[in-house]
Amino acid sequence: TMALVNVNNMLVLDNPTNFTNPFSFEITFECLQELDDDLEWRVLYVGKAADSTSDLVLDEILVGPVPVGVNKFVLQADAPDPKQLEELLGVTVVLVTCSYRDREFVRVGYYVNNEYTGYNPDEEGAKPPPNPLDLKLVTRQILADKPRVTKFAIPWGDENEKPTGADTATHANMTTMAGGEKAASGEPEPEPEPEQMEEEEEEEEEEEEPEGDEAEEEDLVADE
């Protein structure tokens, strides 16, 4: 089934910033035909790479009715509660997902690097930061240059078909990122253009072929 909604571009706003500030993403997407139901957007924070049950849902909103054409909006989500994190400093992943009728069809993941001002864990003899941390000195940087985009083929019109385990499959893909060398650098990179987005197509269990359409480049014009 051809995807009726394609994400054309996603920009990370207010980056880098203090750990306690909200996440903010400017999302541009195209709707190809009228939808009967709303789109559900979620922001998730990977609390522990090896355990998907520790993922924190930072926010979830319903967007609709969605006009046909190109749409743009800003999705904001509060920072995670430090008390719910086993490790606050270091590298992890933040995910932005979109679902239709409880079926996730696209997921965008970014590396996140949290650093404590004046502390370099690679420096020999470095004095560890205080416990508890002074959150005013924790900087969050999202490495926005190469988002990981995963698409899922879903039925857009048949309410009787059951969703598959897309969450479990993609969590394994995204948390693999958390150990990457790229994330460890913590150096700022330019914002991504649509053609820079890496895409990984995944098929559902009962689909013979994965959804293979890439989002076409469009002018980033908001459709109020």
Confidence of residue 10 (pLDDT cuts 50, 70, 90): very high
Over the chain, what is the mean pLDDT?
A: 76
Average pLDDT over residues 156-171: 50
Is the per-residue pLDDT at 82 higher than 80?
yes
CA distance linking residue 153 with residue 102, whole number of Å: 13
The sign of the torsion formed by the CA atoms of 162, 197, 144, 90 equals: positive
Q: Which residue has the tokens 């914002």?
A: 191
Name the more confident of 12 and 210: 12
d(CA 137, CA 118): 9
pTM above 0.75, yes or no: no
Query: Phi and psi for 135 in degrees, rounded to 5?
Result: -65, -20
Q: What is the dihedral of CA 7, 80, 46, 195, to 10 degrees?
A: 20
Tens digit of each residue's pLDDT (9 = 90 or more) over 193-221: 433 444 444 444 444 444 433 333 333 33
Summarize pLDDT for 32-64 with one digit per residue, the tens.
999 999 999 999 999 876 666 678 999 999 999
Residues 6+ apart with CB under 8 A from 107: 95, 96, 97, 98, 149, 150, 152, 166, 170, 174
